[in-house]
Amino acid sequence: MTAPPLPPGPPPRPDGRVGVERIAEFASRIDVRSPSEFAEDHLPGAVNLPVLDDEERARVGTLYVQGSAFDARKVGAAIVARNVARIVETYAQDKPRDWEPLVYCWRGGQRSRSLAHVLAEIGWRAHPLDGGYRAYRRHVVASLGTLPQTFDYRVICGLTGSGKSRLLAALAAQGAQTLDLEGLARHRGSLLGDLPGDPQPTQKRFESELFAALASLDRARPVYVESESRKVGDLQVPETLLATMRAAPCVRVETPQPLRVELLMAEYAHFLAAPDLLASRLDRLVELHGTKTIEQWRDAAQRGAFDALTADLLERHYDPVYARSIERNFPRYDAATVVRIDDVSAEGFAAAARALLAAATDRVAAPA
């Protein structure tokens, strides 16, 4: 994902440091933190080139606590020197003379300065990020408190299985601006919504990707987004974004139940191949529906009666829950633009997206 566009900032300081407001100017970003730090979150587009990996960082830290700061610095300096040499010999070896990377660590300290200094001595214009990742993280948090309010959303609502995500993807393919929260969260937003083999990112990583996605949007054009609750899987949607979405106009997707069952069967095919996994997930609904109902659903899963099970889950669980949630959280739902889905093929959703966008254009063009 491309870096979020930020307003031009002041020039580099005499020591080469640049502030977080200038991140977008650097196509090359080097994160010298340990792999575990990088995995939790990092700047968009950054490459991880640790000057201390997790084991080395722990070793130096232990020596600092149990030995002396002087001994820890000696050991750390030797390790950093070897790792910086490896970075120069491998990653940096084919970089042109005008290469100008941004280098950062946790708070703009010795780890980033070590690599930036060597690169600068060679002749590249390497710039440490002032305040490091910590400054970037503060910028993301502050921006997510205000940036979401600057957009005009169209919230796609509809019962579970109605094809909201497919319509959103079709709108994007037609050139509309979209914000795919479930895609960023790697989750379909329901009890069974986790994606096999694709774990959710950390909360920090989700927020970084959300910030980058928002910052890439055009404020002059509407943004289509799927209705969500406060959490998508285990991830929290920022309150400002949620509040702004809930005050926005709605698009209601209406799909006949047989087609909803068909869509859900396709999207959750991994459960059809693992009925025991599906049965274990259904156990989480015992408090809502009682042991007897859950046993019936588990039995249906084990027998492979997935059509009947899906329809029953929609009628007795998902539809009532969604209806209560949408009524409580989206006050403009009753006045929503209705999109009827009678064809759940890719072309069917493409046609629905074209019709929705055409209707929106006609409304804008109509005289007051």
Among all residues, which ones are annotated catalytic?
105
The secondary element (H helix, E strand) that includes residue 357 is: helix 346-365
Question: CB of 211 within 8 A of CB of 1?
Answer: no
Put residue 108 in one of left, alpha, beta given phi > 0 → left and psi -120 to 50 → alpha.
left
The label of the residue with tokens 């579970």 reads 160
The label of the residue with tokens 């054009």 reads 221
Q: How far is 12 from 116, CA to CA, in rounded Å?
A: 13
b/e string for 141-162 if b means 16 or more Cβ within 10 A?
eebbeebbeebebbbbbbbbbb
Which amino acid does the sequence have at 184?
L
Question: CB of 238 within 8 A of CB of 323?
Answer: no
The label of the residue with tokens 């002041």 reads 10
Q: How far is 60 from 75, CA to CA, in rounded Å?
A: 7
Q: How far is 162 from 256, CA to CA, in rounded Å?
A: 8
Question: CB of 54 within 8 A of CB of 79?
Answer: no
Hey, which bits of the chain come out as E strands? 29-31, 47-48, 102-104, 127-128, 153-157, 177-179, 223-226, 231-232, 235-236, 250-254, 337-340
Strand partners for 31: 48, 104
The label of the residue with tokens 């640049």 reads 18
Furthest-apart CA atoms within the chain: distance in Å: 78
